[in-house]
Chains A and B, each alone.
Chain A
Amino acid sequence: MKYSPINLGRWLLWGSTAVVFVVAPLVFTSSFALTLLTQMGSFIIFALSYNMLLGQGGMLSFGHAVYSGLGAYIAVHTLNLIGKGAIVFPVTLLPLVGGLAGVAFGVLFGYVTTRRAGTTFALISLGVGEMVFACVLMFPGFFGGEAGVSTNRVVGKPFFGISYGPALQVYYLVAVWCFISMVAMYALTQTPLGRMANAVRDNPERAEFVGYDTQKVRFLQLVLSSFFAGVAGALSCINFEIVSAENVSAIRSGGVLIATFIGGVPFFFGPILGAIVFIFFVAALSGFTKAWLLYLGLFFVLMVLYAPGGLASLVLMQLPVLRAGRWRALALPYAAAATAAALTIAGVIGVVEMVYRLSEQGASTILEVAGLSFDASTTPPWIAFVLILVAGLVALRFATRYFGRKWAEIKAA
């Protein structure tokens, strides 16, 4: 028997998460914010399901979009059938259809991909992803080709006024599913299968000695993860009312990998942070600059190089300092590092944007930042930005050393 008191902290955490879900659209009321929040909700499920593979099972997949994308395709066809009146099914439960479709494809492809682990698994998942993408383009009858399959989510009679016409109702649908999926996926990490997945990740040889079939564990973990990927796919289908080849593409698979890693693979809540940041990059930053993918890639590479535990590890690092009440001692180092980082970022953005202005044919060479405008075809702004960049890098070098010293002092104390 295990001594299990009521874990107050856990209840508080999940409770406040639920509150955040309810309150978020009341705080951010603009329609842009609402679409962002809805996208974040479904992407959180997607990223968490991805982390069931990478974080909990040690399987680096380059083709996870296959399961969410095919789940979305099945969901969109189901929705169209409901719309035609061929079948009767509540839209609220449509994610379940997507999830089951995800499971079906997980069983089908997982049998092949999970035969190997490690790097080979990564390559096979990539190959399967490419295969599915090529197939989707090959059968335009079912998949709608490049343009995709569009649908209308407002079908059937409104149920207690819920028709999923207004974006707010869609948000709450996503929020409820997101919360349920989060709880379910967390619960899965506590099951024997979840534990065995960790064991297979850390030491497959030992796991086999204990008597477990590592291939089977990987397979089951992948199938379960495909379920949640399918749920996420169906939700995005309801949200956007269109499913296209992009949903199963390598771009989507790479996106979820980047989001999950940025958030923090070793922690359950890491992918949640990652999904929020990623959607912010995709939806918000892409409106400002066409080089957003470059910034995202740079951010990702820097995280791989300097913070392999992701944002979650950076957040958790602060906790002991806060608990010990020593954050005052770190205020100055943080300020120094932030200034240096800001300088570097300004330099990088300036240079990148100017390169872009020059390379794009027909684009204006005038770059406007914060009310100032520069002409990229002249030399002075180049010199200025390169100087800023160099100064930033030098400052960053000193600032990180200073920060490291202070950090070590506090840790020692």
Chain B
Amino acid sequence: MEFFLVQLLNGISYGLLLFMLSSGLTLVFSLMGVLNFAHASFYMLGAYFAFQVSSKIGFWPALVIAPLLVGVIGMGVERFGLRKVHRYGHVAELLFTFGLAYLIDEAVHLVWGRSAVDYRVPPDLDGPLFSIFTSQYPIYRGFMMLVSVAMLVSIWLALTRTRIGLVIQAALTHPQTVEALGHNVPRVFMLVFGGGAALAGLAGVIGGNAFVTEPGMAASVGPIIFVIVVVGGMGSLAGAFVASLLVGCLQTFAISLDWPIFGLKLSQVAPVLPYLLMVLLLIVRPKGLMGTREG
């Protein structure tokens, strides 16, 4: 019971972090039709910026500054890159973000070196939050959940209750009409892309010190969030949410269990599980859990 509760909490906090990443990806995809391959690279940038800023002026300013910086970079990417390749179609856009992921990864190598940097949980948040039976639950895990939930609630409010949110929602389905009504749709695209990048950056800030901040972090998280988007159904936020929690719990539980499977331990098989889930789901239900679009 104790084991189950602790792992469940860990799984949920990891799943929420994954949802912060996959929600940005899904929003950008459903709005612009662009699958941002560099999304995980923005996550990594967020972690590295947070490391840099927090080593100078502390963690709390970094929590605000780093995502903003990543957001600005994202807007720049949209304005000066994506908008140009837009006329060549979606494959070109995907390829552009793929190349961008390469560039960001290499730039991180160049600037911060090839080994992990020492980005730590701030001392105020270091320690146990409460204890379940005999194990103590760290404050930082709780903080991660708090930040992700707060972020998601505010995004939901912004999308449904504000003017710009309504314009974004309208632009999702009827961009021409929105443009005809006098809204600057390209600017909306730029804002959403920047917003998605900032969200990934924020996930990086709180995920970078909970896990490890190293140049390989984008390559290890990237495929997982793409799997989530496919499993949840392309373009479905609710699907992404369910899939994030599912994959988050699946991975946390599998890593800590050593049930034998075909001569291997379950913990050894853990890295394959999300992909296996995707393959199985695609055979049974090709459009994903809650997908509506046919590829």
CA distance A361 to B105 in the complex (A): 19
User: Chain A 198-227 against B: per-residue CB contact (8 Å), 1 yes, 0 no?
Assistant: 000000000000000000000000000000
- Chain B interface residues toward A at CB < 8 A: 29, 33, 35, 81, 84-85, 88, 90-92, 94-96, 98-100, 102-103, 105-107, 109-113, 219, 223, 226-227, 229-230, 234, 264, 268-269, 271-272, 274-276, 278-279, 282-283, 286, 294-295
A332 an interface residue at 8 Å Cβ cutoff? no
Which residues of the other chain, B, contact A60 by a CB distance below 8 angstroms?
91, 94-95
Q: When A124-B230, A131-B272, A308-B88 are in contact, do A300 and B286 touch as well, CB less than 8 Å?
A: no
Q: Is the pair B99, A301 in contact by a Cβ cutoff of 8 Å?
A: yes
Q: When A128-B279, A304-B92 are in contact, do A116 and B295 touch as well, CB less than 8 Å?
A: yes
Which residues of the other chain, A, contact B269 by a CB distance below 8 angstroms?
138
Which residues of the other chain, A, contact B295 by a CB distance below 8 angstroms?
116-121
CA distance A395 to B269 in the complex (A): 55
A355 an interface residue at 8 Å Cβ cutoff? yes
Please list the 4 inter-chain residue pairs (A to B) with the smallest Cβ-Cβ separation, ordered nearest first.
A131-B275, A120-B295, A297-B102, A294-B106
Q: Is the pair B282, A124 in contact by a Cβ cutoff of 8 Å?
A: yes
* Identity of the chain A residue whose Cβ is nearest the Cβ of B100 in the assembled complex: A301
CA distance A166 to B286 in the complex (A): 50
Which residues of the other chain, B, contact A298 by a CB distance below 8 angstroms?
103
Secondary structure of the B contact surface, majority rule: helix
User: Chain A 131-164 against B: per-residue CB contact (8 Å), 1 yes, 0 no?
Assistant: 1001101100000000000000000000000000
Q: Taking the nearest CB of chain A, how far is it from the CB of B286, in angstroms?
A: 5
Q: Is the pair B106, A291 in contact by a Cβ cutoff of 8 Å?
A: yes
Q: Taking the nearest CB of chain B, how far is it from the CB of A5, in angstroms?
A: 37
Secondary structure of the A contact surface, majority rule: helix
Which residues of the other chain, B, contact A128 by a CB distance below 8 angstroms?
275, 279
Report 28 cross-chain contacts, Cβ distance below 8 Å, ordered by A residue. A58-B91, A60-B91, A62-B98, A115-B283, A115-B286, A116-B282, A116-B294, A119-B234, A120-B234, A122-B35, A123-B227, A123-B230, A124-B230, A127-B230, A128-B275, A131-B275, A134-B275, A135-B272, A138-B271, A293-B105, A294-B103, A297-B103, A298-B103, A300-B99, A304-B99, A305-B96, A356-B110, A361-B113
Which residues of the other chain, A, contact B33 by a CB distance below 8 angstroms?
119
CA distance A94 to B112 in the complex (A): 44
A191 an interface residue at 8 Å Cβ cutoff? no
Q: A294-B103, A301-B96, A308-B88 are in contact. List 5 more A-B contacts (CB 8 A).
A: A116-B282, A128-B275, A131-B276, A250-B219, A257-B95
A381 an interface residue at 8 Å Cβ cutoff? no
A384 an interface residue at 8 Å Cβ cutoff? no
* CB-CB contacts below 8 Å: A327-368 with B: 352, 355-356, 359-361
* Identity of the chain A residue whose Cβ is nearest the Cβ of B114 in the assembled complex: A360
Which residues of the other chain, B, contact A130 by a CB distance below 8 angstroms?
223, 275
A283 an interface residue at 8 Å Cβ cutoff? no
* Identity of the chain B residue whose Cβ is nearest the Cβ of A129 in the assembled complex: B223
Q: Is the pair B106, A301 in contact by a Cβ cutoff of 8 Å?
A: no
A182 an interface residue at 8 Å Cβ cutoff? no
Q: Taking the nearest CB of chain B, how far is it from the CB of A245, in angstroms?
A: 13
CA distance A300 to B274 in the complex (A): 30
Q: Taking the nearest CB of chain A, how far is it from the CB of B4, in angstroms?
A: 26
Which one of A137, A250, A304 contacts B95 once the chains associate, using CB atoms below 8 Å? Answer: A304
Q: Taking the nearest CB of chain B, how far is it from the CB of A70, in angstroms?
A: 15
A25 an interface residue at 8 Å Cβ cutoff? no
Among A112, A130, A308, residue most surrounded by chain B Cβ atoms (within 10 Å): A130
Which one of A122, A250, A291, A361 contacts B94 once the chains associate, using CB atoms below 8 Å? Answer: A122
A254 an interface residue at 8 Å Cβ cutoff? yes
Q: When A112-B283, A138-B264 are in contact, do A359 and B98 touch as well, CB less than 8 Å?
A: no
* Identity of the chain B residue whose Cβ is nearest the Cβ of A109 in the assembled complex: B279
Q: Taking the nearest CB of chain B, how far is it from the CB of A257, in angstroms?
A: 7
Which residues of the other chain, B, contact A356 by a CB distance below 8 angstroms?
110
* Identity of the chain B residue whose Cβ is nearest the Cβ of A131 in the assembled complex: B275
